[in-house]
Structure formats: C-alpha cells, structure tokens
Amino acid sequence: MKLNDLFNLTFKTIFQRSTRSWLTIIGIVIGIAAVVALNTLGQGLKVAVNLQLGFLGADLIQITAGKQSASFQAGPGQNPLASTFLNLPTAGVLTENDLSAIKNIYGVKAANGIVRGNVGIYYNEQIFTTTLNGVEPSEWVEVINYEIGEGRLLQDYDTYVAVIGNAVAKEFFSKEIRVGDSIIIEGVSFRVAGIIKSGAGFGLQDSYIFVPKEQARRLLPDIGSNLVSSIEVKVVDSTIIDEVEEAIAQRLRTLHHVSEGNEDFTLTSSKTIQERVNIVISMITIFVSGIAGIALIVGGVGIMNTMYMSIMERTREIGIMKAVGAKSRDVLLLFITEAGIIGFIGGMIGVFFGFVGALIGAEIISVNLTSNIRLPVDIYPDMMMLSILFASGVGIVAGYLPAKRASDLNPIDALRYE
Amino acid sequence: MEKEAVIEVRDLRKTYYLGQTKVHALRGVDFKIYKGDFVSIVGPSGCGKSTIMHILGLLDTPTSGDIFINGQKASDLSDEELTFLRNKNIGFVFQFFFLSPYLSAVENVQLPMIFSNKSENERKKKAEELLKKTGLSDRMHHLPNQLSGGQRQRVAIARALSNNPTLILADEPTGNLDSETGREILEVFKELWNQGNTVVIVTHDEYVAKKAKRIFRMLDGKIISEVKGEELDRKVIKELDTQNHKKKKGVK
C-alpha cells in the first residue's frame, strides 16, 4: 500500500464515522486537558510564589523573641516540614537595650523596634480588631519593602497619626477610610496620614496599622515599657547579610548571657524565609505532579479503552480488507495510523482546552484571593508537545493490540465476528 | 488434452467446535475446477458449501486435505503469499456484500487495487469501467448505505473483478436479494463466464444452480453427485418451471 493511499483511506474512515471518531477524540481530550491544565496551574503557582518572595528584599533580617531556629536545619530523621511548622518558640524577650546595641553594629543601616499587639478600631460605628504596629518612623521607612499608596508614611514628629494597610482602609469597614479621616484605636483618636499600597511581600501589612512607638506603648500596656516585640534590620548591602546576621547573633548572645545553640531569640533573613518557602513549593510541586500523574494514567486508560472498543467493533471491516487482499501489515498500518491521528487530534484539542481551563482556573483562584496576586498562566511548549506526543503514542499502543489481534485472524473469522 | 485445473481440492476436511459440539463441516471433498468452468455448489444449509467456498477463497484453512491453486499447494504458502493470491487470483463475492461502509462505490472497487499498489489513475479507470459493466455508472460516488441490495452486490462483483482474477467465487450472491434482483445478478455472473472467466457459485437455490455448467450437490459435508447443467433430471426442471411460473405470476 502506498503512503498517500494509507492517509487517504485513514482520513476517509475517520470522517465517515465522524460521530464515533469524535467520541473517541473527546475521551482523549479530557485526559490531556486535565493534565495540561493542572501542570500549567502548578507552574503558575510556583512562578507566583517566587515572584512574591522577590518583594521581600534580600537585605532584611528579622529578630523575634524566643528560639525557633532549630527547625531551620532539620536534624537527621526529622521531617523538615513538620519541624518548620510545629516547633514552638521557647520563651525570651527583646529589649530596647538590644535594639540600641544592634543599631551600633557595623553594617546595620537601620533597625526598627516594633511594639506589636491586637487592638480594636472604631470607625463608622463599627469595631474591627487588627494588629497594631508601633514603629520608629525614621527607622521604619528604611526597612519596609512596601510602598505608600495614598498620603504619606509616618514621620518622627508625628503624634496620634496612623498609617493603615490597604485592607484596613478598603475592606474592614462598610465605609472606606480615606487619608485625613479619624479612627478611634482603643478609645484614642488617630488621624490617618497614609494608606499602604497593597500586594507586596506576603501582604501582611495590608491588614496592619502603623503608629509611632510611644503611642503604641500607651495602647498596649501589657508590653513592658522596656520591651519590643520584634526588630527589623536592614543591612547596608545584601552581600554582607550573613556577616551582619552573625554579628547580631553574637551581640545578643552576650547581652542575653546565653551560649551558642541555646539562644532565646531568632534571626530570620529573607534567605531563611526563602528556604522555608522552597520546602513548601517543592511540596506543592510533588502534589501537583501527583495529581497530573493520576490524570495522565486515567487519560491513558481512557484512550486505550476507547481505541480498543473502536477497533474491536470493526473486526469485520478488517475481515473485508483481508478478504480483498490486504496484508496483515497493511491492516495494522491502517489502524495504527488512524489511532495515531485520532490521538494526535485529541492531544491538540486537549492541550487547547487544558490551556483555556488553566486560564479559567487562575481567574477563579485570583478572585478568591484577597490581595491582587495573579497566578500567571504561561504557554509551556515542551509540556504541550509532550502531551500531544503522549496522546498519539498511547493511541497507537492502544490501537495496536486489537488491530494486531484482528489482523491475525483468518479473514473469515474476522468477517464472522459479531 | 488435459485441461488446466485452476483449483483442485483433495480429501478436504474441516472440523470446528461450536461451544462443546464438534461440527464436521467437511468430511472429505475432492474436485477439480478448470479454466472457464462455471460451477455451482448446491445443497441445504449446513451442508458445508459455504465452508468449502471460504477454503477455496483462502479465507479459511482446512483441518486436513490439500488445495492446489494453479498447481501450487496452499498449505505450503506463507500468509503473505496467500494474501497475494487472494488479492491477484481470486475475486470473492459475499452474500452480505461486505463493502467498506466508509468508501464510495468507486472507492470500494479500488480497494483490492490499492493493496496491489496500482497507480491511482489506473485504479480509477478500471473501477469506473467495471462499474459501467455491472450497470452502476450513475451510482459511482454513492456510499454503500445509499445503494440498494442489488446495487451493492454489483459493486461487490466489480470489486471482485478489479484485479482480473483467474477465479471468481460467489457465496450465496443472490441469497440476500429479492428474486428479480437475484436473477439480474445471476445474469451478470453468466455474462462474466461467457467472457471466459472461471466462476464458482455457492447456493441453495436450484434455479441459480441450474444456470451453471457443472453442478456439485452437497449433503452433510460431502459432494454426493456431480451433474452437468443440461443433465438436470426432468423432474427438477419441471418443478423449477412451475415455481418460476408461480413467481412470475406473483410479480406481475
């Protein structure tokens, strides 16, 4: 049989039995679309998370009270994820004394001591509880990795002035808070000087309120007058972050009279956060790959099933071809070509719908997120090519078995096949 | 002068199993068919006449015994060689037509020629010529399901002729057609024989059988008699005539 006759006959068959062919193709489309959609979304998730991490800045160190660091380097036999999330910090405090010591360390550009606690905010006859951050304005503006959206940041001479997160302004109350409005925090009136732009970093600042530290201490009397909740440090250059981190740790150990390994404080640089997040990302990747793998198997079995049925019911047709002088090889070639073409068409349509599905999925995820983080949906040609190849391949493999079986029959047995 | 045997079978036996039951379809069949013969094999259903036809057409293999096609022993041939013979030497016409439902009449006729690697031009020309010959020049591009039974059988006959076979085998070619159409189809076979083709027809219809030059009667897997077409006993002819008379009356 000649090649053009082979394709000619195959396409005639596919189009003449279009309903059956399309049903087979749909079976393949579903499998491939699921795989492509899941993979595209999974990749998008990774890209989105990495993008968000980029906003954290590579030159920041956060110091919190209590020991947490054992979890960062999991010991042998220890599940790194479990220790990351389950290790509770030991007791410990940070003081104003620690803060001024850190400010004097070489390589520290700014150090912001924060007094943090939950407060009730009264506005438009509604009360909402959120996190209050008392900061040192001149240091705060240096260490932040987010920008002001409206109004201005805090300044050193400010009294009873607040800067609020985007969500506080726009979502917490039925009436939007604007720059210049007054809000009541724990019974004290503050004027809103600025609203932070939404979305950077982890987006925590979206629901935060920032006021000068002295006023925060009055609103949060439970925090000792000499204590700070955490300290944020910015180093002069991100290349020396490791050295500065070590210098801070050494100074704090001396001040707290603790030895190395028994610290009652925790240093977290954006680097360590990245490490932790990477664990989460790899977990997500494994999860998504697992689902995609299952979808692939289901899709593959579906392709095999439809192809097998489609050829079994045509055993008589194979008998006809053999009766008029088709070699077994010709018959095999015809059916394998058909199976391959159907797999290929199904794969292409599946890739298309998978991509559309990923777009819709990303849209749904974005709508459900409070901040305006978007899941990027990109075209991954390798993955798409592989999916089409897989569909064609599985089609051929699935077509081979029944076609081989039928072409090996005596023509008369194939003709008699019901 | 010894005539050239197109096909010869010796002590052909075929046994198959239908569930638990052993069926002896053929119990030792011998005959020779010569070039230019017109043979009918006649007998009641289940006598093995279709089985012998399938074996002659190389569509099935006997349990024991030999078939010689143009002097070549079929059991010595590979699957590939059998396929080649089936394609070049044998034209098979089935009771149920067995056309490819996805191909038009003219494409169905071309199918055997596709498998023998004929060029497209040659194929088309030949197929159109054959369809004209079988009286289907105005139905060439119809699909089988757009054709009547008789028209389908004409397509099947044209297909059987496409590679100029040395032997035309027809298994109950009129069995699925009304008597009028059946007679027309029979005329086509007779015409083919007149043109020098070797034709074997299997039938249970005495009227069809009578048209042949040699008639093999089969019963229970054996050939019980061979008669010349002209030697049909008077009783049978008389019977047939009255039957035909009745049929004609019924039709008109």
**A120-134 tens-digit pLDDT:** 999 988 899 999 999
Residue A269 or residue B129, greater confidence: B129
Nearest CA in chain A to B123: A5
Which chain B residues are Cβ-neighbours of A415 within 8 angstroms? Answer: 59, 94, 98
**A113 and A96 in contact (C-beta within 8 Å)?**
yes
Give the pLDDT confidence of B48-78 residue by residue, as tens digits.
Answer: 888 999 999 998 889 999 999 888 898 888 8
Which chain A residues are Cβ-neighbours of B103 within 8 angstroms? Answer: 9, 12, 16
Which chain B residues are Cβ-neighbours of A325 within 8 angstroms? Answer: 83-84, 86-88, 112, 115-116, 163
d(CA A212, CA B24): 106
Q: Do B115 and A326 touch (CB under 8 A)?
A: yes
Residue B114 forms contact with A (CB below 8 Å) = yes
Residue A119 has pLDDT above 50, yes or no: yes
The tokens for B105 are 């009449």
Phi, psi angles (nearest 5°) of residue A196: -75, 145
Mean pLDDT of A8-23: 82
Name the minimum distance, in Å, from the CA of A3 to any CA of chain B: 10
Give the pLDDT confidence of A248-293 residue by residue, as tens digits.
Answer: 999 999 998 888 888 888 888 877 776 777 777 778 767 877 876 7
Name the minimum distance, in Å, from the CA of A2 to any CA of chain B: 6
Mean pLDDT of B122-144: 91
Nearest residue, CB atoms, A317 vs list B61, B100, B114: B100
Nearest residue, CB atoms, B102 vs list A5, A17, A325: A17
Nearest residue, CB atoms, A12 vs list B59, B80, B103: B103
Residue A9 has pLDDT above 80, yes or no: yes
Residue B13 has pLDDT above 90, yes or no: yes
Residue B132 or residue A239, greater confidence: B132
pLDDT bin (cut points 50, 70, 90) of residue A82 is: very low
Which chain B residues are Cβ-neighbours of A413 within 8 angstroms? Answer: 60
Mean pLDDT of A395-403: 85
Which chain A residues are Cβ-neighbours of B61 within 8 angstroms? Answer: 410
d(CA A379, CA A372): 22
Give the pLDDT confidence of A323-356 residue by residue, as tens digits.
Answer: 888 888 888 888 888 888 988 999 999 999 999 9
Residue B163 forms contact with A (CB below 8 Å) = yes
Residue B235 has pLDDT above 80, yes or no: no
For the purposes of burial, counting CB atoms within 10 Å of the CB of A285, is it exposed (0-12), middle (13-18) or buried (19 or more)?
middle
The tokens for A98 are 């620690």
The tokens for A158 are 């400010």
What is the per-residue pLDDT for B237? 52
Sequence-distant (6+) residues with CB within 8 A of A408 are: A328
Name the minimum distance, in Å, from the CA of A416 to any CA of chain B: 11
Give the pLDDT confidence of A164-217 residue by residue, as tens digits.
Answer: 998 888 888 888 998 999 999 998 999 999 998 876 656 778 889 999 988 898
Nearest residue, CB atoms, A2 vs list B87, B99, B117: B117
The tokens for B192 are 């083919």
Give the pLDDT confidence of B100-120 residue by residue, as tens digits.
Answer: 888 999 999 999 999 888 898
Residue A69 has pLDDT above 50, yes or no: no
User: Vertex A6, ends B98 and A307: CA angle to 5°?
Assistant: 70
d(CA A234, CA B77): 89
Mean pLDDT of A83-109: 76
**Which residues 168-227 of chain B have a CB within 8 Å of chain A?**
none
pLDDT bin (cut points 50, 70, 90) of residue B240 is: low
Give the pLDDT confidence of B28-55 residue by residue, as tens digits.
Answer: 999 999 988 899 999 888 888 889 999 9
- The pLDDT mean for chain B works out to 86
Residue B94 forms contact with A (CB below 8 Å) = yes
Domain positions in chain A are 3-54+277-416, 93-263
For the purposes of burial, counting CB atoms within 10 Å of the CB of B181, is it exposed (0-12), middle (13-18) or buried (19 or more)?
middle
Q: Is the dihedral of CA A247, A252, A255, A256 positive or negative?
A: negative
- The pLDDT mean for chain A works out to 82
pLDDT bin (cut points 50, 70, 90) of residue B168 is: very high
pLDDT bin (cut points 50, 70, 90) of residue A405 is: confident
DSSP assignment string, A338-388: HHHHHHHHHHHHHHHHHHHHHHHHHHHHHHHSSS---------HHHHHHHH
Name the minimum distance, in Å, from the CA of B241 to any CA of chain A: 36
Name the minimum distance, in Å, from the CA of B192 to any CA of chain A: 19
Nearest residue, CB atoms, A325 vs list B60, B99, B116: B116
Residue B100 forms contact with A (CB below 8 Å) = yes
Rank A37-46, A138-147, A261-270, B112-121 by mean pLDDT and report only the highest.
B112-121
Amino acid occupying residue A158: D
pTM above 0.80, yes or no: no
Residue A73 has pLDDT above 90, yes or no: no
Residue B97 forms contact with A (CB below 8 Å) = no
pLDDT bin (cut points 50, 70, 90) of residue B144 is: very high
What is the per-residue pLDDT for A202? 61
